[in-house]
Amino acid sequence: MTFDVIVVGLGGMGSAAAAHLAGRGQRVLGFERFGPAHALGSSHGGSRIIRQAYFEDPDYVPLLQRAYELWERAERDRGADLLTVTGGLYIGQPHHRTVGGSLATAQEHDLPHELLDAAEVRRRFPTLQPEDGEVALFEAVAGYVRPEASVSAHLELAARAGAELHFEEAVTAWEADGDGVRVTTATGTFRAERLVICPGAWAPQLLEDLGVPFTVERQVMYWFQPEGGAERYERHPIWIHQADDGLQLYGFPAIDGPDGGVKTAFFRHGSVTTPETIDRVVHPDEVEFMAKRLGAFAPGMPGRFLRGAACMYTTTPDEHFVVAVHPEHPNVTVACGFSGHGFKFVPVIGEILADLSTTGTTAHPIDLFDPRRGALSR
């Protein structure tokens, strides 16, 4: 069979790209080094926060608004539960980026929100205990998406539209020229007109020629069973708290039943690693540190530690994404460096990759993600 597009990497972004491309009638061949919806990269852990009052940069908001539309469409098309709206609290001192950046974005884009003082947070959300002087921005549309279910849904949509998907088949090399692209795996070499590369934590190897100094970081997710059980956490907003030392702690509702616990994690509190050397063991000192920080902010937590899991952030120097046509190869499109805050964008990134791969351009605002931007110079 002759293929129009090969997609390398079928995690969050790659699965969505394959679904969008196949849905447009493209003949798609996809490769994934592990099984479908696996837990060895960056698209697992049961839940990922989604929000619109985006402290990272206001320019993300139009993409987020489109992402919400596409999450809902994927749910309808697949008949799957992917996005749950819970409301969200972004908590800290007024000058902290978590609060101040969220507020500035909400005001710039006229996003509905409330600004609460610490006493009001404690009254309305007694599971949380911000200090006097801290404030919170509450956003009703925030919530979470389910990463494994999302990858599975997009893979199913891609296959349903005719994509050929290969699992347990790692790509070892790729080439592009005026005649198309060649992708090499352990089983052979495959050709197509165009290539989409969504390598996750394997970006430093597969996209070395891009010239972007990616850093792969090990991050840990934790699940605790609160004192008295998880019931009062079942109808609960997602939350992000920034402490005075800059460390961000975030948490979710209890979404996996009475014995599933409550998930929490730190944002950007990890260590440099590689996909080959990552330590997947969650150590007692890590649990102890998390329990101490969590207990100081959330009454009833940590309770009993249930389990932990490691994942990987692939981070750029400015913590923005890389989504673009490859600067040296017009028939290659890349999506990587999602820096720990990318999963909420999965369906819109898939749409953008389909645009770029088929037409070379997109109507979505993606200048912020150009791999040649000055912030990425070595």
Q: Give the amino acid at 47.
A: S
Query: Would you say 187 and 29 are in contact if contact means Cβ atoms under 8 Å apart?
Result: no
- Which DSSP letter does residue 168 get? S
pLDDT at 128: 97
- Which DSSP letter does residue 289 get? H
Query: Would you say 357 and 196 are in contact if contact means Cβ atoms under 8 Å apart?
Result: yes
State how far the Cα of 304 lies from the Cα of 159, in Å rounded to an integer: 41
Tokens of 67: 């992402």
Per-position pLDDT tens, the chain of length 378? 689 999 999 999 999 999 999 999 999 999 999 999 999 999 999 999 999 999 999 999 999 999 999 999 999 999 999 999 999 999 999 999 999 999 999 999 999 999 999 999 999 999 999 999 999 999 999 999 999 999 999 999 999 999 999 999 999 999 998 889 999 999 999 999 999 999 999 999 999 999 999 999 999 999 999 999 999 999 999 999 999 999 999 999 999 999 999 999 999 888 999 999 999 999 999 999 999 999 999 989 999 999 999 999 999 999 999 999 999 999 999 999 999 999 999 999 999 999 999 999 999 999 999 999 987 754
pTM of model > 0.85:
yes
Domains of the chain and CATH, by start: 3-45+148-209+318-376 (3.50.50.60), 72-144+215-315 (3.30.9.10)
Query: Would you say 242 and 97 are in contact if contact means Cβ atoms under 8 Å apart?
Result: yes
Q: Phi/psi of residue 293, each to 5°?
A: -70, -40
Tokens 């129009």 label which residue? Answer: 4
**How many DSSP H helices and E strands does the chain contain?**
8, 20
| Residue 84, CB-side half-sphere exposure with 13 Å CA sphere | 19
